[in-house]
Amino acid sequence: MKTYAFELSGEHETLPRSEALALLEIYSSEHREIAFYDQCLIVAAQDLDASAMGERLAMTHRIIEVMAVCDANLDALAEAVSGLMLPQKRYQVRAKRIKDAKPGADKVEREVGRTLFRRGFKADLENPEIILRAVITGGKIILGQEVTAADRSSYEARRPHLKPFFHPGVLMPRMARALVNLSQAHPGERLLDPFAGTGGILVEACLIGIEGIGIEVQKRLVKGAVCNVHGLDCCLMTGDAKRLPFKDASIDAAVLDIPYGRSALIEAESKEDLLVGGLAELFRVLKPGKRMVLVADSSVESQLRTAGFEILQEHTDRVHRSLTRHIFVTKR
């Protein structure tokens, strides 16, 4: 097995690590976690398809094939670089310091460059053949070759207000993609969002080859969402989350953001009635052993357990002073 480091984003404390570990189940034949530092996950993985995984990840900046891990000081770094097995190719070195970790990124870059120059290697800042990446975190320097980098700009281009149809209170694209990834849905499988809204979750699922199915009770939102998912492998329909039009055990994954707040319209006897009825239906249509990822504005642990779901993870996401999202990763 090879060793890889995931340079995680700092936008959430727990989701980036969980997202990476969830996708390792899909894109490697075997893996195990070696270490976890602030914004850096190190794993050993067999047959990792890093390119495919990198295209899918939302909360990881880069995947690095690790060559050395040393204490975070320049003497230890120079010793580690002196022993690196590198091809005779032009290189570029870039370092990332996590928060206030020491030494600084510029010092690390200079030390790596100086040591490699003494060994006869040539740098090329314009057209490098390999990119060496160092992450300074947790009292360590993780050094290796960058194998893939995420296209973060694509998520910015899909921000809700830039889509053909907009409605307030929706998830941002990176969060929606991370939730889809936590569901471990494979390309070609069917993912259900029974509270589809403007289709943000479905868009992120379809862009990575998953078949999206959306149910939404408000006809106005369905008409708008159709514009947002145009050209994607997605089916949208008006319907009730408490009466899903699917056979038992016919859905591969579910991701849902339960309606809440002033912008949400609850067309049920109560929010609790909608939750209980919706969870019962989701348990019915989801295949055994498959995952459901649920977002709510409060803890719904008891309702999930009553419906029969096994809770694998719980995350919280503070949006603003009056809203903290609770994210549950569950299994049927």
In angstroms, rounded to a whole number, what is the distance separating the alpha carbons of residues 295 and 268?
18
Q: How far is CA 253 from CA 2, 53, 63, 213, in A?
A: 30, 18, 26, 10
- Regarding whether 202 and 140 lie in a shared domain, the answer is no
Q: Are 137 and 271 members of one domain? A: no
Based on the domain organization, do 89 and 176 belong to the same domain? no
Q: Are residues 318 and 204 in the same domain?
A: yes
- Pick the last residue of a domain from 149, 171, 194: 149
Token pair for residue 36? 């976890």
The reply to whether 227 and 205 lie within a common domain is: yes
Answer yes or no: do 138 and 173 share one domain.
Answer: no
Q: What is the pLDDT of residue 127?
A: 96
Shared domain check, 73 and 18: yes
CATH of the domain at 24: 3.30.2130.30
One digit per residue, the tens of pLDDT, for the chain of length 332 reads 999 999 999 999 999 999 999 999 999 999 999 999 999 999 999 999 999 999 999 999 999 999 999 999 999 999 999 999 999 999 999 999 999 999 999 999 999 999 999 999 999 999 999 999 999 999 999 999 999 999 888 999 999 999 999 988 899 999 999 999 999 999 999 999 999 999 999 999 999 999 999 999 999 999 999 999 999 999 999 999 999 999 999 999 999 999 875 444 556 668 899 999 999 999 999 999 999 999 999 999 999 999 999 999 999 999 988 889 999 999 99
Structure tokens of 265? 């319209």
| Of 122, 149, 176, the domain-final residue | 149
56 and 8 together in one domain: yes
pTM of the model: 0.95
Domain total for the chain?
2
Quote the domain boundaries for residue 115.
2-149
**Last residue within a domain, chosen from 128, 149, 170:** 149
- One domain for residues 283 and 173: yes
Question: For residue 262, what pLDDT is reported?
Answer: 44
Q: Do 84 and 163 fall within a single domain?
A: no
> What is the rounded CA–CA span in Å between residue 270 and residue 53?
40
Q: Which amino acid is at 80?
A: A
Dump the DSSP string for 45-106.
EES--HHHHHHH-SSEEEEEEEEEEEESSHHHHHHHHHT----S--EEEEEEE-TT-SS-HH
- CATH code of residue 252: 3.40.50.150
Residues 178 and 302 in one domain: yes
Whether residues 184 and 134 fall in one domain: no
